Amino acid sequence: MTEKNISSGDNIRIPSSRRIFAKNLAKLSKLKLENNIKKRGMKRSYILLIPLMFVSVSIIWWLNFAEKNSNIELNIEQVSQTQDANTEMTGARFASRTSDGENFEINAQKAIDNTPEPGLIYLSNPNGTIWTKKGNMIEITSMEAILDQSKEFTLFKGSVKMQQDVPKTEINASVLSIDLINKIYESNQPVHVSTENITIRGKNMSVDGEKGTFSFGGHVKLTFNDNK
């Protein structure tokens, strides 16, 4: 048997059956690669679709909730879900009209539904505004609040400040509840009330917004301001 060295310059003949097999193998490899790319794309699409579905469902739920409980307009920037499976909204704005025609708006950094109890909404860093039928504007800010839409009741907590333009009045307290239906503002904690003429320090305050009267329980310190 003789051996023959094949150099790179020699012409090598490959049987036609092998050429056909190689072409078919190349086509199959290409199809497999394209299928893998499509599958990866579909997985990414599903991953992106799931959060969008959650956001859509959350928005619809919130709109249905608002329509059932009050005439309320709701604007939000972002929707997510808490560890307790509650809906959390970032940049929430609630705008509503009370049963007797007064406008109320409250903005919050975050709003979480069914917190701390079902039917209530927890608000982080809220600031609210009330436009009364008498033409007054009342602004309220605090660290947090609990909103009950069905009762038109809000409990503000932490560095609460309430300001009214006419007559010019400012109330500072750690806790302040606002009953929009009965126009009652109350606090069972120490409060500091200041107007253009007087300053009041007391506790267990109740303000009747309809009558424009203040009442306190226990010891009250009243100071008259000198207008110069």
Confidence class for position 23, pLDDT limits 50, 70, 90: low
Confidence class for position 141, pLDDT limits 50, 70, 90: very high
Is omega for the bond preceding 167 within 30 degrees of 0, making it cis? yes
C-beta of residue 197 within 8 angstroms of C-beta of residue 210: no
**What share of the chain in percent tops pLDDT 70?**
66
Average pLDDT taken over every residue of the chain = 75
Instruction: Work out the end-to-end distance of the chain between its first and last CA atoms, rounded to an integer number of angstroms.
Output: 128
DSSP labels, the chain:
-------TTS-----HHHHHHHHHHHHHHHHHHHHHHHHHHHHHHHHHHHHHHHHHHHHHHHHHHHHHH-SEEEE-SEEEE-TTS-EEEEEEEEEEE-TTS-EEEEEEEEEEET-SSTT-EEEES-EEEEE-TTS-EEEEE-SEEEEETTTTEEEEEEEEEEEETTTTEEEEEEEEEEETTTTEEEESS-EEEEESSEEEEESSEEEETTTTEEE--S--EEEEPP--
pLDDT at 130: 92
pTM: 0.68
Residue type (1 letter), 93: R
Q: Give residue limits of the domains in the chain.
A: 70-224
Report pLDDT digits (tens) over 85-102: 778 888 888 888 877 788
Report pLDDT digits (tens) over 186-196: 999 999 999 98
pLDDT at 212: 83
Report pLDDT digits (tens) over 195-227: 989 999 999 999 998 888 889 988 899 999 876
Q: What gap in Å lies between CA 145 and CA 129, rounded to an integer?
A: 14
Q: Which long-range contacts (CB under 8 A, 24 or more apart) does 196-200 make?
A: 196/167, 196/168, 196/225, 196/227, 197/224, 197/225, 197/227, 198/222, 198/223, 198/224, 198/225, 199/223, 199/225
Superfamily, domain 70-224: Lipopolysaccharide (LPS) transport protein A like domain (2.60.450.10)
**How is residue 76 written in tokens?**
């939000």
C-beta of residue 197 within 8 angstroms of C-beta of residue 185: no
pLDDT at 191: 96
